[in-house]
Each structure stands twice: as C-alpha cells, then as structure tokens.
Amino acid sequence: MQYVKLQIGCLIVTLYIILTYLRATLKTKIPCNKFFDALMIVAPWAVFFDGLTAWTVNHLEIIPEWLNKYGHLLFFVFMDLTIIVTSLYMYDQIVGFCKEHKKKNFLLFLPGIISLIMIFAGINQIEYIQGKTTFYSMGFSVYVCFISLFLHYGIILGLVVTRHKYLAKDKKFGTVSIIVIVGIVLIAQIIFPEILLTSICAAILLLGIYIEFENPSIRKLTLYNDNMVEGFANLVENRDSNTGGHIKRTRAYVNLILHKMRHDKRYQDIMNKDYLVNVSNAAPLHDIGKIATPDYILQKPGKLTDEEFTIMKKHAACGGEIIQNTFKNLDDAEFEKIAYEVARFHHEKYNGKGYPQGLSGEQIPLHARIMAVADVFDAVSQKRCYRDAMPLDQCFSIIEKGSGTDFDPQIAKIFLDSKEEVVRLMER
C-alpha cells in the first residue's frame, strides 16, 4: 500500500466526480460533451494503471516481466489518451470543431495518433530504475508521453494567446490555469522521477474541466438563460402580428452567414465557438425594443407617417437599454455585450446613414452588420399586411444594391453567394 496511496486517493476523487456528474446530468437531461464523456472513461484507467505499475515495479521479483511491461503499456496509453482528449476538449471550447473541415480535424488528431504509435513501438525499451525510496520506470515511451503533453498543451496555449481578444475571460483563465497546474506537476515529476505524481495530472484535468466548464449546475443555469432569451423573443413576436416567423428566419440566416464566415480566413480568429453561440442566441433579441413601441404603430396596417416612423426607430436604442437592464446579472458579459450591440446597432448603415447613432463601416460591430443583412432580407421577402412579399430575385437585388452603402460589402457577398441555401432555409 505504501506505493499506491496517492493513486488510490486520486482514483477516489475521479470516481466521485464521475458519479456526481452522471447523477446530475441523468436527472436533468443536460446535453453532454463527447470529449468530456471520453475523459471520464480514460482518466480513471490512467490513474488505475499508474497505481498498478507503481506496485508491480516495486515487486519485480514476483511479477512476470511481460505483465509488468504490458501494465506499463496500458498506463502510458491511457495517460496519453487523457492528454489527447483534454487537449481536444479545450480546442473545442476555444475554437470549436467544424464538420466541414475534415482535413483540419484530422490534423488535430494526427499528433495523438503518432504519439500512441510511438508508445507501442518503444515499450520494449522500458527500464526500471531504483531510486532512494522506490523503483520507477523510464524509457522511450515515457519520453513520448512527456513530449505529447508539451506539444498538445503548447498548441492550446498558443491558441489562447493568439485569440485572447476574442475569448471570454473565464474560458481563458480556466484553460490556462488547468494547463499551468498540470505543467508544474509534470516538471516536478521530471525533476524528481521517483515521487510518481502522474496520477495527480489525470485527477487535476478531470476536476479542473468539471469545475470550470462542465459543472451541471452552471450548465443548467445556462439552459435557463437560453429559455429566458427565447421567451423574450417570443413576447416581441406575439405583439407584432406583421412579423410571423421573422425571429426564426433571421436567426437561421445569421447562422448561415456565421457558418460561411468561419471558412473565411479574414474572420477566422473571431469566429470561435463562444462567438458563434453568443451571436446566434442574441439574434432573436434584435427587435426586443419593440416591447416599448405603441401597438397603434407596431400593428398599423399601412405605411407609417414620418412622426410614427420616428417613434418606431426608437426601438433600437430602447432594445439596447432593455438588454442592459435585464441581462446585467447573468454573469455572462460577452453575451450581454453582443446582444446589446445587435439590438442597438442592427439598423446602422455601412455608409453612416442609419440609426440610432449614425455609425459607419467597421464602427458598427460585426454581429450587428450580420444582423442587418438577415433582418432586411427577411423584411422584404415576407408578406406584410400593408404589402405583398417581394419576388426573391428582387429581395436579393436589394441586398446587392445595398452592398457598401446599407450593408458591409463582404457580408453581403457571403449572403448572396449562398442564395441556394437561403432559399432552402425559407422553404423549411
């Protein structure tokens, strides 16, 4: 027992986290993350085989050589899998995987595949070294695990550094904290190889990701917040009998534009997973300010007078204020900022002739420029009580003619290049 006390403690911690997580998620039916699911499988086995080999390496006189060797092989494999899975999890949190980027996704898995192959290839070179208090193992496979950790987490740290302007503070802090703590443990293990701290790494990775990202209570609160956002959006739509499915359609167009922009190198840094989710969730709130618009204007079956239109235009600024007052206590500053800017600035024009502030060009937040294209296209392509829906060719023509004046020319081009997909979304 003197050789495996630490591993037993770490195993108890990992199993407790897993059981707590499963109980909470099965009870509330919260969607799970596939990489975290994988981590809950490989991390306990990494700790288990760390403990097993810590015992066998100190009982070489009674343990068959093949058993000791293959026990170490399984330990190295599960430890490397823990490193691979956690790095993929963090990449998914920071950038997000894109199904269409199959080659890029394969390249992300490639270092892990190579390291696993090298572990298998080098297992016969393992050596058992006697330290002052215990035996420990060294050899090619051990070095591969060390290099794998530095490589995978080095890539993640590089992404955090290069994209720090576009990442949420809690996500940056959580990711860096986990990697730094594991790095300190690893350095201590390299300097003092016989202290056998490896199991702590697996436990820290599982515990850190659970606390920072996968805590069921926090995820449940996020779902409640999403439901509240949807409720606000439905409230607006129910008041405005002219706009029907406007919220669902504009959100679909926004998601399409975001998806296309993700493939564009000009927007690669900003189009991370959080940004995509926040803009998509903020899109339904773009007209939230209409809650304060009088019914006689909002539901008027005809063209508005100049005075009425002046009142109608106030919904943009009002929407921003409502979001600031409503969502200020959600502890999600990034979403609040994006939702505020979408609501306040989606009627700004690229040439500076929009409202409420007359912003122009890139003074208008990117997400508001995206919303502007989606909003106008849906407005002209749907029937209203005071006019029929315009023909689709004419609707696309309005976006084309407004490129560079009403709309960001790059976003307008992305939208126009996606005509077939836009039409399919409308039909759906």
Task: Sketch the domain layout of the chain as residue ranges.
Answer: 5-214, 218-427
Amino acid at 148: S
Rounded to two decimals, the pTM is 0.83
**Residues, the chain, total?**
428
- Residues 327 and 336: beta-carbon distance below 8 Å: yes
Angle formed by the axes of helices 333-345 and 366-381, to 10°? Answer: 50
- Kindly tell me the burial class for residue 387, based on how many C-beta atoms sit within 10 Å of its own C-beta (0-12, 13-18, 19 or more): exposed
pLDDT score at 330: 67
3-state secondary structure the chain: CCCCHHHHHHHHHHHHHHHHHHHHHHHHCCCCCHHHHHHHHHHHHHHHHHHHHHHHCCCCCCCCHHHHHHHHHHHHHHHHHHHHHHHHHHHHHHCCCCCCCHHHHHHHHHHHHHHHHHHHHHHHHCEEEECCCCEEEECHHHHHHHHHHHHHHHHHHHHHHHCHHHCCHHHHHHHHHHHHHHHHHHHHHHHCHHHCCHHHHHHHHHHHHHHHHHCHHHHHHHHHHHHHHHHHHHHHHHHCCCCCCHHHHHHHHHHHHHHHHHCCHHHCCCCCHHHHHHHHHHHHHCCHHHHHCCHHHHCCCCCCCHHHHHHHHHHHHHHHHHHHHHHCCCCCHHHHHHHHHHHHHCCCCCCCCCCCCCCCHHHCCHHHHHHHHHHHHHHHHCCECCECCCCHHHHHHHHHHHECCCECHHHHHHHHCCHHHHHHHHHC
Which CATH superfamily hosts domain 218-427? Hypothetical protein af1432 (1.10.3210.10)
Q: Does 3 have pLDDT greater than 70?
A: no
Q: Does 63 have pLDDT greater than 90?
A: no
Q: Does 241 have pLDDT greater than 60?
A: no
| Whole-angstrom Cα Rg for the chain | 28
End-to-end CA distance of the chain: 64
Greater pLDDT, 247 or 419? 419
Greater pLDDT, 242 or 127? 127
Q: What is the pLDDT of residues 22-34, one digit of tens each?
A: 888 877 667 778 9
Contacts of 265 by beta carbon, 8 Å cutoff, 6+ apart: none
Contacts of 37 by beta carbon, 8 Å cutoff, 6+ apart: none
Q: Grade residue 410 by pLDDT with cuts at 50, 70 and 90.
A: very high
pLDDT score at 238: 67
Q: Does 385 have pLDDT greater than 70?
A: no
Residue with tokens 């591969």: 144
Side-chain half-sphere exposure of 380, counting CA atoms within 13 A: 15
Is 5-214 CATH 1.20.1070? yes
Q: What is the pLDDT of residues 372-381, one digit of tens each?
A: 999 999 988 8
Q: Does 71 have pLDDT greater than 90?
A: yes
Residue with tokens 């439901």: 227
**Residue 290 is a catalytic residue:** yes
Contacts of 88 by beta carbon, 8 Å cutoff, 6+ apart: 35, 108, 109, 112
Separation of alpha carbons 326 and 329, rounded Å:
8
- Residues 40 and 207: beta-carbon distance below 8 Å: no
**Minimum mean pLDDT range among 85-89, 215-219, 304-308, 392-396:** 215-219
> Of residues 171, 260, 290, 349, which has the active-site annotation?
290
pLDDT score at 300: 77
Of the segments 38-47, 186-195, 306-315, which one has the largest average pLDDT value? Answer: 38-47
pLDDT score at 254: 96
Contacts of 34 by beta carbon, 8 Å cutoff, 6+ apart: none
Q: What is the pLDDT of residues 181-238, one digit of tens each?
A: 998 988 888 888 777 778 899 999 999 999 888 888 777 767 666 777 777 677 776 6
pLDDT score at 327: 76
Q: What is the pLDDT of residues 173-195, one digit of tens each?
A: 999 999 999 989 888 888 887 77
